[in-house]
Structure 1
Amino acid sequence: MNSKIKISMIMLGIGVGSISPLMASEPFLPAGFEDIFNAKQNAIYDILFDDESLGSIGIEYDQHEAKLLSPRVIVDRLTAPDMPALNISRQALLSQLSSPLPRVNKAGFAKQKIVVYLDESNTTLQLLFPAALFNNDSKKAARKYIPFKNNSGFVHSHNINYLDDTYGNSLSVYSTETLNLTGSSYVKGTWSYADTINFELDELAFYLEENSNRFKLGRQRLHDNLSGSTPSMAYSFYNAMSFDGISLGYMTDNYIAPGTGAASPVTLYMPMAGTVEIYRNGRLLDIQQLSAGLQTLDTQSWPTGGYDVQLVTKLTNGSREEKTQPFFKRTGTFHSGDIEYLLQLGRYDPRRDDIKLRTNSKSCSQCNSDTFNTARDNNLASASLAYTTESALSAGAGALLDNTQLYANTSLDIPVNSWIAERLFADGIYGRDGSSGYQIGLMKNLASVGLNLSYRDNRYRGDKKNYRHFGIVPAYDFNYLQLGLNTFLPWNVGLGVNYGLNTVYQDYGHSNKSQFNTWDINLSRDFTLSDMLNMRIDLGYHRGVSETSYAKNSYSITEDRLFAQMTLGMHERSYNHSQSLYLRARSGDDGLQNNTYAANYALNLDNPDFDRSGKYTVTADMAHGPQKENNAGASITVDNALGYTSAGIAKSFGDAKYQQQYLSQRSGFAIGADGAAWGRMDNDAALIVDATDLPKDQYFEIRNRSSAPTIVKGGQKTTLSMQPYQKIAPEAEQVFSDKTDAFYNLKTQSTSTWAKPGQVYQVKLSATQNQTVTGRLYSDGQPLSNARVVGGNSMSDEDGLFVADFTLQTNEHLTSLTVKKEGQDFTCPLLQQNIKVTKGIMQIREVNCEIQ
């Protein structure tokens, strides 16, 4: 009987104790410290919601609750279009956030009302909302479109390359221009120039976009349309080309949550709040905390494929439940449940890729008048439809009219839960003339095993005279088999096996073939010798067979090679630089005289003293190979306010002497309503960073979400290239400074919207500086005691001594103090001869104050 009572008491204790994580725990306090511990405090905290920062505001808190001092700022951010939709009004949300919010610990949950978790170690406050506040019908941001403004602009980017080697020199230019007209309409052009091909216009089209629809008029690239409008389909038998015409298709760019693929929903009923652990093949994938009710798990971080997931639920009452269910996921720029479509109509010139019409002498080297007559513009018309289910199964089909040839194509992608495959994919094409092509493949990825297998075959059965004629669909016979396997053996030995079989038929009717057969088997092992030294050993076998058959003759070349390679790597990193040196020795089974030795050195400098706005990469390499062949080279790449600039030299010594020098420059400019700026430009939208109000001797780094950051010098402007269709949410920070009195708090001011292609917005940077002032206050020759220093959050002591902290603008100087005492206001001018600044602290010998 006693044992039963003890067991009951233990179980009751477990049940009561398991609820405690929902409450903010209170430690044991010595007598007399209760009032101090429970006193309310004020501080500035970073407010977080679902791992996203909503801004930093002041809060008032104690051990039980916290109150937001500026709730409207948080409400504005929570009701933004890119946040999960709520089923309460803005005013109701403001009312709840204006009230004191209960505190919970890290394992706490929101049941009926909003609660908060405070992490005082890094001054963050996490908002926890109950599931009842979310609008489940519109919680998926995948069906929300980005808001944008009617803001015109122009963005230009280019890449200029100059090469000078032993055989001559060449100049090439590649450029992209984007002119936004009305926000949803813009003109985009892409062109290139090279000595050998002269001028090439790849794209010059007018775009008109509305929600999930995109219309194009002009010269456009076929594969951009295929991958953008039917992203879940595969087109293995379409050649890349440009055509002149019109197209209308589906697009995912305008979604607030752009296409990230499809995943089967994983739902779980929670009788009460608890933690869910997700396992795959015994390995922990994810941990999520869920409140009570029917919950849908977040699968964004889970790997792709088809596999079983084990859900282990641990409830707050101490109970534990397990559930196993299949899960399917595939990544890509598509959404499940959307109908993808594409319609195209136009014509293209096959001569550009079919035959070489231009040479350096501006003449046709392979053609006559009949060739020009037959190689006229070809007509193009196509239509495609595709769909992806919630279980990540994608299917699509289409029709293509390539001049007079009619084709039908299809695509299928199936996630499966099998021991040998987790994804099966296939696509094919069939022509009215009997030509056909198909591709099949499978993939499997486990914790330590990766398998890829695919086979592609194309057969042309049209007119013999058109064999190898360039068109949208290849007009020649070929097949290709590829197998890849990567895994780890015991003792962390990596194994890689790759096999490829590529066959091309030179003439009509599967005759005169060229076949390439390769095997590659590699074993590798990495060793960590120290924090700065590591070693890698590779052992490999390569077999290559090249076979050519012509008429009744056959030629075959076989290559078998064993090799061993040892790599010794040394690396070192500091706060603003990193460097590495790799020494490699490679030996084969063809004798020591054919060994290869190489050394590669790399140095990365981030914001060096001679150029705070730049990042430099310097490389140098040397190699000694068979037949006394020696190679040496060096290069430097600079990423600064002028864009990317790279220069290098390479030279070969020995019998085959060769020398090469190159210079490459990549940059661009942006023009908007607020001005223009030059700088690094990699995308079709841009921000003009205006730092003209910041100190001219300081440098500042600014970034916008996933876009690469840029550095601007105070007093100047530059461009920040950003991905179009992204929200403008810039962040800035100061680049390291060795001056103790030159630390600034930065603020960005920009338009709150999403940027469309060609649009340019301005980001205005401003800064404040904290100035600590210490000194002694006097009035009529007597210490001014117990006086409050206005703006400095300070009181003077009985001797008039004070220590105050002021927040000043970058162009603001402290010339006087305002002091209040017993209802009287005092003005205290600061004399320069009485001021001394030491390590950023302003020390004032004496301050004489006068009554206002």
Structure 2
Amino acid sequence: MQNVALAVTQRVPPGFEVLAQGQVLWVDVSLYGKSLGLYEANINLEHVVFIKPAELIDAVKQQFNDDPGLRVQLSAALEQPLLRNGNLACSSNGNAPSCDYLETQTVGIIYDENNSRINLFLDRQYLPKKDAESSFYQASVESENAFLHQQNLNFVADENYQSLSVQGTGSLGVTESGYLNADWLYLGQRYRHANHQQIEMNNAYFRQDLWQRFYLQGGMMDSRDIFSNSGGNINLSQLPIGKIRGLRAGSTLAWINPTQVSRGTPVSVFLSRNARIDAYRDEQLLSSFYLNAGAQELDTRAFPSGSYTITLRVYEDNQLVRTETVPYTNTGVSSLDTFQWFLQYGVEVDRDSQRTGDDRRVVQGGLRMPLTDTLSLTAGTTVQSDAHYWEGAADWIHGFNSGPLDGIMTARTSYLSGSGGARGNIQQINYNDGFSLSFYRSAMSVPDCNSQGLNYGFSGCYQSTNLMFSMPFAQWNANVGYSINSSEGRYRYRSELSDSDGDHQGGVPWERIYETRSRSHTWQTGVSRSFTVNEMNINTGVSAFIRNDSGQQRTDKGGYLNISLSFSGRRGGNDVSSNTSLGANYQNSQRGAGQLSYNASYSRYIDESGQNELGSSIYGVNSKTLSALTYARASGQYGNGSLTVSDAYDKVANRHAVSGSGSYSSSLLVDRTGLYWGRWGDGRPASAITVGVDSEEENRASQVNVMIDGRGQTDVRSNSRALFTVPSYQPTNVDINESLKAPTGISSEIRRGAGTRTAFMVPGKVLRRNIEVTSRYTWLGKMLDEQDQPLVNGIPLNVLSWTPLGEGGFSLETTRPMKQLYLMRGSQFYQCAMTVQAMRDVVRYVGTTRCAGVTLANIPPAEQKQAQLMTVRQGHGSEVPVAMKMN
């Protein structure tokens, strides 16, 4: 320090030596616009030295970041003289662009001499402390236990085959985070004179969540929850995990809030003043932010996935002051960096199993262990009395940022080994970056591939490989695909076989048959393009293939050519819209003659929701067959349904084949307020939201609009309650507003309960939203007295609001329909008939009405009280209201 002062002194003019030696001052130290307090410093013409740097270091650590590396860097810098950089202070350079800002990779300051303030700047790798936010959702405290059941019915019928399936899922809330769940299936089939019926219970268990991280489950259960967020999303794609009766414990991701665990790398910006920041990816504007001074972290949740460079343009007072470039990687919401596990013990429940007694007992477990944020290992095992299996897998996700590659790649490899020589392996790669590449290979083998004995989840040997590459160029999209499949024998249901297979029609569809050795490989390539001409969408494509099947004597080569046209229309200003499409496809190959297929369809939507539809279509092949069908689809407050009727005509055989199919799905809720019928959810354990609309009127004319998660809208009438089945373990937004579809002559106003609300519930819970609605009736007309003179200066007694229009004209509002209007003028009372002549939107035109005098005793009691109140006010000199609502 003495050497520095000496060098400065040698350059200072005579008489200013004291300044060169420095002065001890108390200065206000700010870190990105936030004051850290007053600190003592020795300040000369070029440098600043803090007297007690440890106190300043502690203040930075407390308010900004407690990273040990930052403390080391601060200690090394603040114990040494720091350049003043006073020329960067806004008060010294006339508020030049980017003043009061310093970019540094260590520690730097700007000394504002005019304001006795020091602005402190740090290496940008040290980010400020984040506000403590929970990474877990919190259950809606207003939700209550209820029983919710979803049911779905499907049927199909033709001359030879009829099938009916009914599935149901029921959830009953028991504790704050525990519930009972059961799902079942009924299947009835008839093929000619053969019948088959089956009733199966897939799950019947109780589950209790603990501390939002773990769960206990007991009863009969299959493996679906293990592979979802409900059970930790542990992917064991080859390990045989069937249905058991027993106990399961494990970790869960159901409560994790993905917005708090986003995989995007942090993007921070350091501002000395309030500013606007525009974030660009190349020339694409991703978002704009208006931020206060300070060290700010941008909200990148809406940024697209990938690994790329972001350019930040900082504007102060609408002027660009600087540009910063930062790398960014977003791999989406990933759970690879969390430890997950499950363990279960029980008895197998498998109708095809040949095991009995103690042989059916099984212990199974699995875990996923993170190695890095993007790499994890998964392992699992199944242990039986006489057999065991284990599977190991590795999952990796990576974002590239190297020139043309700036997309996301996911990869997975797994290996299965089991007693008896069972082996299996899977390799999978997916990459998406404008172009996409996917590769999938799976193989399974047992020592005796041609054995028809049933193993635990395995039969025969097979191998499958699929490769697909697609890439856009100009306005076209090209794709190349390759697949190879081989089998040494395996069990399959007859209904799974292709129509060309001789065994497909050889028996009942539900029969399980053994498929012998087969091998096939296929190459396919094509290009397609979509464009619009005069509001008509046109899709074209051409492709070629080479296919070799072991069941065929020679290689087959061929191609496809297709074109389709579609356009939409709307009738006038109403809600009815339609869609029409036409298409043709030509196919030719060495094994068969050329085949031309063609189709046409028309659909008509009844309302704007797109959930109620009527339609029909025709489909033909050459001139030999022609099929026609018509369908209807409806969705409403009490469920969703569809019905289709079709007829296939074979011109060669001169034969018609008529068939029909349909479905209906709904949900049922029972809680302490009653029983409600509503829409189907998704068939998984669910929760519910009910919306009750209360109105003073007895009729149900008023409506409110309910939107769930921004998808679809439903109008609920007054004095009714609607049920909405919503996914559990998932935040659901409920938006309630006045309906735009007001009945003619009536408008509605929500007095209580409008707005948006977010709910998060476990299965078997219900959240009630109670809405109060007031109806408004608007009347327009003209009043005459008994002498056919305009009735003026009258005060109505039974209206909500009143506007005189002169010469007896009036406009008024009421909360309910009325047949008589009562007025008071001075000490006289009048009765006017309100006969509606016409209605336009929400206005009721009554035309000219003649008013007759009436005594106070002959008007209704409510209007008598109103008149007495107004008379008292007039007697006290109070201002008389134009109109008052009567209760």
**Which letter does structure 1 place at the counterpart of 2:612?**
Y
Counterpart mapping for 1:93-242 below 5 A: 137-138=130-131, 140-149=133-142, 151-195=144-188, 196-210=196-210, 211-229=212-230, 231=232, 233-238=234-239, 241-242=242-243
The equivalent residue for 1:21 is none
1:629 aligns with 2:625: yes
RMSD of aligned Cα (Å):
4.2
Counterparts of 2:435 and 2:629, CA distance in 1:
38
SS at match of 2:144: coil
Counterpart mapping for 1:30-41 below 5 A: none
SS at match of 1:224: coil
Whether the 8 Å contact between 1:313 and 1:320 is mirrored in structure 2 is yes
**Which letter does structure 2 place at the counterpart of 1:746?**
I
**Which letter does structure 1 place at the counterpart of 2:576?**
H
Larger gyration radius, structure 1 or structure 2: 2
Whether the 8 Å contact between 1:229 and 1:342 is mirrored in structure 2 is no
Identify if the C-alpha distance between structure 1 residues 699 and 441 changes in structure 2 by more than 3 Å, giving closer, same or farther.
Answer: same
**Which letter does structure 1 place at the counterpart of 2:432?**
N
Identify if the C-alpha distance between structure 1 residues 238 and 408 changes in structure 2 by more than 3 Å, giving closer, same or farther.
Answer: closer
Counterparts of 1:235 and 1:542, CA distance in 2:
34
The equivalent residue for 2:489 is 506
Whether the 8 Å contact between 2:567 and 2:581 is mirrored in structure 1 is yes
363, 367, 371: which one aligns with 1:384: 367
Identify if the C-alpha distance between structure 1 residues 148 and 546 changes in structure 2 by more than 3 Å, giving closer, same or farther.
Answer: farther
1:428 aligns with 2:414: yes
**Which letter does structure 2 place at the counterpart of 1:299?**
T
Q: CA deviation at 1:567?
A: 1.3
Identify if the C-alpha distance between structure 1 residues 813 and 177 changes in structure 2 by more than 3 Å, giving closer, same or farther.
Answer: farther
Over residues 814-850 of structure 1, what are the superposed CA-to-partner deviations in whole Å (9 max), with x where a residue is unaligned? 965799xxxxx99977633699886425778699987
Counterpart mapping for 1:460-479 below 5 A: 460=446, 469-471=454-456, 474=458, 476-479=460-463
Moved more, 627-636 or 427-436: 427-436
Q: CA deviation at 1:701?
A: 3.7
TM-score when normalising by structure 1: 0.69
Moved more, 430-439 or 517-526: 430-439
SS at match of 1:222: coil
The equivalent residue for 1:705 is 709
1:538 aligns with 2:544: no
The equivalent residue for 1:669 is 668
**Which letter does structure 2 place at the counterpart of 1:410?**
A
Counterpart mapping for 1:204-353 below 5 A: 204-210=204-210, 211-229=212-230, 231=232, 233-238=234-239, 241-255=242-256, 262-280=263-281, 282-316=283-317, 317-331=319-333, 334=335, 338-352=338-352
SS at match of 1:851: helix
Whether the 8 Å contact between 1:228 and 1:250 is mirrored in structure 2 is no
Counterparts of 2:449 and 2:836, CA distance in 1:
94
The equivalent residue for 2:468 is 484
The equivalent residue for 1:690 is 692
Counterparts of 1:688 and 1:796, CA distance in 2:
43
Identity, in percent, stands at 16
Q: CA deviation at 1:810?
A: 5.3
**Which letter does structure 2 place at the counterpart of 1:246?**
L
Counterparts of 2:138 and 2:264, CA distance in 1:
21
Counterparts of 1:787 and 1:269, CA distance in 2:
65
1:529 aligns with 2:544: no
**Which letter does structure 2 place at the counterpart of 1:668?**
S
Whether the 8 Å contact between 2:410 and 2:430 is mirrored in structure 1 is yes
The equivalent residue for 2:634 is 638
The equivalent residue for 1:451 is 437
Over residues 231-253 of structure 1, what are the superposed CA-to-partner deviations in whole Å (9 max), with x where a residue is unaligned? 56533324574222222222333
Counterparts of 1:406 and 1:145, CA distance in 2:
39
SS at match of 1:223: coil
**Which letter does structure 2 place at the counterpart of 1:764?**
N
The equivalent residue for 1:395 is 376
SS at match of 1:520: strand
Counterparts of 1:261 and 1:466, CA distance in 2:
49
**Which letter does structure 2 place at the counterpart of 1:851?**
T
Whether the 8 Å contact between 2:143 and 2:768 is mirrored in structure 1 is no
560, 565, 588: which one aligns with 1:563: 560
Counterparts of 1:475 and 1:829, CA distance in 2:
93
The equivalent residue for 2:775 is 769
Counterparts of 2:829 and 2:762, CA distance in 1:
53
**Which letter does structure 1 place at the counterpart of 2:167?**
Y
**Which letter does structure 1 place at the counterpart of 2:484?**
L
Identify if the C-alpha distance between structure 1 residues 835 and 488 changes in structure 2 by more than 3 Å, giving closer, same or farther.
Answer: closer
Over residues 773-797 of structure 1, what are the superposed CA-to-partner deviations in whole Å (9 max), with x where a residue is unaligned? 6789999x99987999999677869
Over residues 231-286 of structure 1, what are the superposed CA-to-partner deviations in whole Å (9 max), with x where a residue is unaligned? 56533324574222222222333356678853322223233333333333554433
Identify if the C-alpha distance between structure 1 residues 699 and 606 changes in structure 2 by more than 3 Å, giving closer, same or farther.
Answer: farther
Counterparts of 1:375 and 1:606, CA distance in 2:
59
Aligned residues: 671
TM-score when normalising by structure 2: 0.66
**Which letter does structure 2 place at the counterpart of 1:543?**
I
Q: CA deviation at 1:811?
A: 7.6
Q: CA deviation at 1:720?
A: 1.8
The equivalent residue for 1:719 is 723
Q: CA deviation at 1:631?
A: 1.5
**Which letter does structure 2 place at the counterpart of 1:431?**
S
Identify if the C-alpha distance between structure 1 residues 681 and 623 changes in structure 2 by more than 3 Å, giving closer, same or farther.
Answer: closer
Over residues 281-324 of structure 1, what are the superposed CA-to-partner deviations in whole Å (9 max), with x where a residue is unaligned? 55443333333222222222222233343434344453121213
543, 546, 550: which one aligns with 1:547: 550
SS at match of 2:295: strand
The equivalent residue for 1:366 is none
Q: CA deviation at 1:517?
A: 1.7
Q: CA deviation at 1:155?
A: 0.9
Counterpart mapping for 1:46-57 below 5 A: none
Unmatched tracts of structure 2, length 5 or more: 1-127, 189-195, 492-514, 854-866, 873-887
Over residues 472-503 of structure 1, what are the superposed CA-to-partner deviations in whole Å (9 max), with x where a residue is unaligned? 6x46543332222222222x122222222233
Whether the 8 Å contact between 1:267 and 1:297 is mirrored in structure 2 is yes
**Which letter does structure 1 place at the counterpart of 2:174?**
L
SS at match of 1:143: coil
Counterparts of 2:424 and 2:479, CA distance in 1:
30
Identify if the C-alpha distance between structure 1 residues 481 and 747 changes in structure 2 by more than 3 Å, giving closer, same or farther.
Answer: farther
SS at match of 1:160: strand
558, 570, 586: which one aligns with 1:573: 570
Counterparts of 1:245 and 1:515, CA distance in 2:
41
1:600 aligns with 2:601: yes
Counterparts of 2:272 and 2:819, CA distance in 1:
62
Q: CA deviation at 1:460?
A: 4.2
Counterparts of 1:680 and 1:242, CA distance in 2:
29
Over residues 793-819 of structure 1, what are the superposed CA-to-partner deviations in whole Å (9 max), with x where a residue is unaligned? 77869x79786665x545899965799
The equivalent residue for 1:409 is 392
Counterparts of 2:662 and 2:782, CA distance in 1:
62
Whether the 8 Å contact between 1:602 and 1:620 is mirrored in structure 2 is yes
Identify if the C-alpha distance between structure 1 residues 294 and 786 changes in structure 2 by more than 3 Å, giving closer, same or farther.
Answer: farther
Identify if the C-alpha distance between structure 1 residues 302 and 835 changes in structure 2 by more than 3 Å, giving closer, same or farther.
Answer: closer
**Which letter does structure 1 place at the counterpart of 2:580?**
L
Whether the 8 Å contact between 1:614 and 1:641 is mirrored in structure 2 is no
Unmatched tracts of structure 1, length 5 or more: 1-134, 355-370, 549-554, 608-612, 820-824
